Structure 1
Amino acid sequence: MSISKKVIVITGASQGLGDGMVKAFRELGYRIVATSRSIKPSTDPDIHTVAGDIGEPETAQRVIREALSRFGRIDTLVNNAGIFIAKPFTAYTAEDYANVLSVNLNGFFYITQLAIAEMEKQGSGHVVNITTSLVDHAIDGVPSVLASLTKGGLNAATKSLAIEYAKRGIRVNAVSPGIIKTPMHGEETHAALGNLHPVGHMGEIDDIAQAVVYLDGAKFVTGEILHVDGGQSAGH
């Protein structure tokens, strides 16, 4: 077992933003632990996959345990797993509410607690939370209360954790995306969704991946909410 390369854990890693991050960090030589409900085994010996529901504490425990047994350390955790349900506020069901809280909040809490405990032993580490610019700038016609409730909480937690662990060598940041071209948005929706951004188009998966790459190398940056949203959070 070698610990000479940096090790990154990425949640929600089977498709979309998570898959883009896996590719970006692998190109930089990182060793990767990738997890999601539906993730498949990897043929790359430097990519270890763990299938499971990140909202369950047992999954978080398994991810961290296998990261340490396989690669010996955890340098970075990216809390990318998240779900978005666009419904009028009064149409949300108890199941919708439970599902969003489970993935977006429980999926952050359990694995981040375990990862930071390991980072403290090392005296270094970095956590990046993927949130949403809808927290800062709600859009008429895009109902997003549950997203704002949960991802807004992650923005606040990012700053709180950054201060709590600043003197212990652990940084905590967030990337706040606009609407990104992922499999959840059909191509027929791209023009309309693009017009919701001041720049007039949607973002690309690599825009978010490279933002995370930047933050991981930015040693003097902590407590930052980096908006990668085509100007969405600035106004319209």
Structure 2
Amino acid sequence: MSIQNQKVAVITGASQGIGAGLVTAYRKLGYGVVATSRTIAPADDTGIVTVQGDIADPATAERVIAAGAERFGRIDTLVNNAGIFIAKPFTEYSQEDYDAVTAVNLTGFLRITQLAVEGMLAQGGGHIVQITTSLVDHANSGVPSVLASLTKGGLQSATKSLAIEYAARGIRSNAVALGIINTPMHPEKHHESLAALHPVGRIGEVSDVTEAVLYLENAPFVTGEILHVDGGQSAGH
């Protein structure tokens, strides 16, 4: 595939866990990838551009999209994967907690998505995916998470709003709402208790997430969808 017609994906929160898995998955599809996080190391793959920066800073979004335009000339997909999750009883959230979670989960979504959409409109289409949590739809008394629901719930609503605003102009918008996924965020000693939260009796793997995102990538008739990849949690217990 020549660079002129190579598709390009931007992945935020790309240095480890789900983000790193998405970088690998899109490269296997033949996409060029722009990968960003605060700590991401340079890649030895010429098909990957890495950009270090805090996605909560709009200047990072500008640098990420500019790097993609400079290397590849286009952006076809944006996966808003970067996120902060702080589980605390509601009255124990501090102003610092609120500022940190809203900065990454909401502010970090806004500017990079605006810039990506501008480029997608110019080239005639594209795809935006938000990574959210099934706690938005299925609250759990054992996992108090109002800030996650406030911010990721906002992203799920924005996902549908974007889908409808741009449906006639070739841009699709979807979300993947996750259960607990086996990433470095969750030490192995907690896996058994975390597995019990899921009706299927296990936590998810990064591959469960990447396969869901790639399904949406290759589903041109699907937009405005909140795809639950949560071991059945959102359906009930």
Query: What's the TM-score once normalised by structure 2's chain length?
Result: 0.98
* Structure 2 gap segments, 5+ residues each: none
SS for the counterpart of 2:121 is helix
Q: Cα deviation per residue 1:87-129 (whole Å; 9 max; x = unaligned)?
A: 1111111010000000000111010000000000011100000
Q: Note if 1:146 corresponds to 2:154.
A: no
Distance in 1 of aligned mates of 2:11 and 2:211:
14
Distance in 2 of aligned mates of 1:196 and 1:2:
45
User: What is the CA RMSD across the aligned residues, in angstroms?
Assistant: 0.8
Q: How does 1:1-236 map to 2 (within 5 A)?
A: 2-236=3-237
- AA aligned opposite 1:58: A
Q: Kindly, what percent of the aligned residue pairs are identical? A: 68
Distance in 2 of aligned mates of 1:164 and 1:18:
27
Distance in 2 of aligned mates of 1:145 and 1:185:
20
Q: Cα deviation per residue 1:33-80 (whole Å; 9 max; x = unaligned)?
A: 000000000010000000000011100000001100110000000000
What is the CA distance between 1:86 and its match in structure 2? Answer: 0.9
Distance in 2 of aligned mates of 1:173 and 1:103:
19
Q: Cα deviation per residue 1:174-196 (whole Å; 9 max; x = unaligned)?
A: 00010000001000101100000
Distance in 1 of aligned mates of 2:33 and 2:70:
13
Distance in 1 of aligned mates of 2:119 and 2:11:
16
What is the CA distance between 1:3 and its match in structure 2? Answer: 2.2
SS for the counterpart of 1:165 is helix
* Structure 1 gap segments, 5+ residues each: none
SS for the counterpart of 2:21 is helix
Number of equivalences: 236
